[in-house]
Chain A
Amino acid sequence: MRIREALNAFPMFYPGCPLNFLYEQTPEINASALPLLKQTLDSLYDRGGTPATFTQANAIYIAFTIDMLKVCAGLALANFPAIEALPHTEESKTIASGVRAAVNAFSRQEDHGLSRRWATYFWKRGLDLEACELRAGMME
């Protein structure tokens, strides 16, 4: 139920999302869903920031749980759960660096067909959903 709530912007605005099978019916569009998605997305653009690092850590966590990823004892990633303390401990920051590096390695392994199709669809759909937002002022 909580997962459905968290992801409900996708069935509302992205009918081609591969996770829409989680919903028996397309939820009704509510006014706060898209702004919330934008806010979340905005927080992820800084790849080294805490929200984006936790997002990448999720991928690493899944890789650990399905035995896709194994690391040697003594490496920062070996104490992966300590990332929970990010950004308050030095150890969590070190693990965060390992997470970002590992994600790079995964994302370059192969051309993930489904993931790529979803990513392409997601960004194209974004252009249909809303107009561009240009900051006022002459130049950045």
Chain B
Amino acid sequence: MTIAEQGRPAQGRSAASSGKRPSRLFRNPMSKIASIPMIFTAVVIFLGGTVWTVIYSFTSSGLLPRLNWVGLAQYDRLWTSRKWIVSIENLGIYGICSLIGTLLIAFTLAALLDRKIRGEDTFRTIFLYPFALSFIVTGLVWQWILNPELGLQHIVRGLGWTTFNFDPLNNPSIVMYGLLIAGLWQGTGLIMCIMLAGLRGIDEDIWKAARVDGIGTVKTYIRIIIPMMRPVFVTSLVLIGAGIVKLYDLVVAQTSGGPGISSEVPAKYVMTAMFGGQNLGQGFAASTMMLVTVVIILIPWAYLEFGGKKRG
């Protein structure tokens, strides 16, 4: 109540101004005042911060940011650094597998849940709970399950298959798949929920028509339902893509980038350069490259989403 009373003085002003309708600039001033935090965040932090980092990526900043222009030298160094190349390759492997894996698993689960089954809520609760957990928790749990001496490998060997070998976290060539297992476990639930919402939005008549035409369930999904769910798939792709580029916490918790540098990722490279190595310029250049990656992902999406409708 008291807070509402405080709003009173502003009331009179805005009501009066809208009554007379003067220039647009002075309409609802309170709305503009109330939006200051948003404007500040959008313009200064998001836009300003991004531009600032891109500009400083062309300098030789080390411990402190300095405007000593060095052109593309930081980028040259970046792309000759083996750690960065490994990071990019890792992200590529993880990204492709995670994208395909998430879409496949999430859609299959959503389709199964959509078959009017009993206990749907229970299943959905189980599939989605990992999403409530942080990547740190996820990484640490899977680090323990994949522990070679006491975890999964040990159990399977104990069952009689003594040559069973699955130790991804200590094997440089498959370490990214160890991360993938954890990443998929954490993230598929969300996409499944989005897909399920999409499936629920499909008209029941489509199913009836397909049945009348004698088209099988699986074929109906592949030929009719999936093409109809294009917007849902696009949203999922963007969400998965944005998540992949941000991959950081999981790596820190599960492998710390090891063994050696075999599970390094770009986000971790940036953090190490900026806050660990006192090598700001490298961090700025690397994060600019991350931005470029996201822009490459986002442009086709923005085009698909908005280009057709508004400008077409």
Do chains A and B stick together as partners? no
Residues of A within 8 A of B (CB): none
